[in-house]
Structure 1
Amino acid sequence: MAHKTITISEEAYNALAKVKGEKESFTDVILRIARKKGSGNLLDYVRSLQPDEELARTLEEIVQERKKISLPAPQF
């Protein structure tokens, strides 16, 4: 397989490194993200991420706040 060299910012490199699995190459990460981008499924994207305690806490806070919101039932 042919190889290409690309230049990316340090920020982009760090973002890729953060989601890269232990036995995954950067090529694998880029292909995984590129495939996911077209699907538009947020849940699949979140599942593709490495476990992240801060993200988990934030999502839990969002869920709890949404439970507090009560919208009136529509009257037809």
Structure 2
Amino acid sequence: MPYKSITVSEEAYRALERIKEGKESFTDAILRLARRDNARRLLEILDRLGPDEELAASIERVYRRRRTIRPREVQL
């Protein structure tokens, strides 16, 4: 079987490494994830990665900031 080399970020590599099951190869892990429907795949990845406190804090900051912004009328 022919092979292809790909480049991924360190973050993506670590995420894929956590998603691998047992002695599963990266190829097998990618194929397993690619066969699933999008919703199931996303839930599995999020479940394995666990909570991201930095992302949650960032979302909360944006949400709080948006609540303080008031629309204004603009004359065209």
- TM-score, normalised to structure 2's length? 0.50
Larger radius of gyration: 2
Instruction: Read off the aligned partner of 2:14 and give its amino acid letter.
Output: N
For residues 11 and 38 of structure 2, what CA distance do their matches in structure 1 show?
A: 24
Identical pairs, percent? 48
Match of 2:39?
A: 40
- TM-score, normalised to structure 1's length? 0.50
Aligned length: 48
**Aligned pair in 2 of structure 1 residues 9, 33: CA closer, same or farther (>3 Å)?**
same
- Give runs of ≥4 in structure 1 deviating > 4 Å: none
Uncovered stretches (5+) of structure 2, i.e. residues with no partner = 52-76
1:40 to partner: Cα distance: 3.4
For residues 39 and 13 of structure 1, what CA distance do their matches in structure 2 show?
A: 20
For residues 41 and 21 of structure 1, what CA distance do their matches in structure 2 show?
A: 16
For residues 17 and 34 of structure 1, what CA distance do their matches in structure 2 show?
A: 15
What aligned pairs does 1:44-55 form with structure 2 within 5 A after superposition? 46=44
Instruction: Read off the aligned partner of 1:31 and give its amino acid letter.
Output: L
